[in-house]
Amino acid sequence: MGCQKVNLRVEVKDTTRRKGDQVQVFLAEEVKGTGAATSEADLSAKKKNPSSANGQYTFKRDGGKGKDKNTYNVQETKTGYVVYASLPMSAALLTEGQVLSLDFRITDEHAAGKTATIVWNDISNQQPDKPANRGKLKLGSVLKQTKVTYGKPVIDAKKDNVWKKAASIETDVWVVGNSGATATAQLLWDEKYLYVLADVKDPLRSKLSSNAHEQDSIEIFIDPSKDQTTFYQEDDAQYRVNFDNEASFGGNARKESFKSATRLTSGGYTVEVAIPLDSVRAEGQRWIGFDLQVNDDGAGMASEAVCPSGVIHQVILIKILPVLAVCY
């Protein structure tokens, strides 16, 4: 079935940079058994190819250069460093519901060459030879992907020429109800903002409900650190705009820098917004989280909701580069 890749982001808090600092990842097909040592044949294969034998990968803090750039790279942060890795794996193993064995081992070099080690699951620290001791990773549904290009539109709810090169996403997964308003959205970015232009199909516009989230509107969720938690952290934000350009916010929204405009159309309405990304750029992060949701008031009746991901707070991953790779 060919080979696909597992993408990892490992953030390490370690303000003292030394040559021995490294991250080791152990990722392979789940091993079912008692945790006995691997066979002599397996150990022999491991010695011949130690970089990935038995699912073992080593990423050095001062590495990620030269030919290693095809596998991983390292970015320094104020509090330590982040490893971005792309690990090859059989496509047959990368299916929804598949369980893989997984563990992480972080090595921190101290003064005089001494080291400290911390792991995720196997406290016996025998991940290479006893895969059964590792933790388990259950694969979820596949994230959708698109590209976000660089551009700076005028926020007026009109489709400027710059939007012509922007890819589109559709809200086609129902999270509440099974029919109602939907949207086609496009995304752009620059050094300060993420731009979203959403064309909403909703001929019966309404904001009769006193609750902002039950009015005809779109909601955008931003997760700059891409932690994908089930609760709002300090950097997470929610932006909501109804068809009358009335905005409301949640989480750590940057209200003072947020921009929006709306325009009524024959089949619904258009919303154009500029969401501040200053904090993301300042930290030099390569990925943030994003999701888009459409709310349908239904003329004061129960609200319907639809989004691209199928889970209201599911994230879209956006790679902050001249062309952004987006998963949602």
Half-sphere exposure of 24 (CA within 13 A, CB side): 24
* pLDDT in the model for residue 65: 73
Residues 61, 50 contacting (CB under 8 angstroms): no
Looking at residue 145, its amino acid is Q
* pLDDT in the model for residue 32: 63
In terms of Cβ atoms closer than 10 Å to its own Cβ (0-12, 13-18, 19+), residue 142 is exposed
Q: Taking the CB of residue 306, how many other CB atoms lie within 10 A of it?
A: 24
Please state whether the predicted TM-score (pTM) of the whole model is above 0.75. Answer: no
Q: Could you tell me the mean pLDDT of each successive run of 10 residues in the chain, 328 residues long?
A: 78 95 93 49 42 78 76 90 89 89 96 93 91 91 74 95 90 80 91 93 91 92 72 82 96 93 97 84 60 79 52 36 41
* pLDDT in the model for residue 306: 55
* pLDDT in the model for residue 103: 95
* pLDDT in the model for residue 129: 86
* pLDDT in the model for residue 71: 81
Among 180, 141, 211, residue whose Cα is nearest residue 293: 180
DSSP 113: G
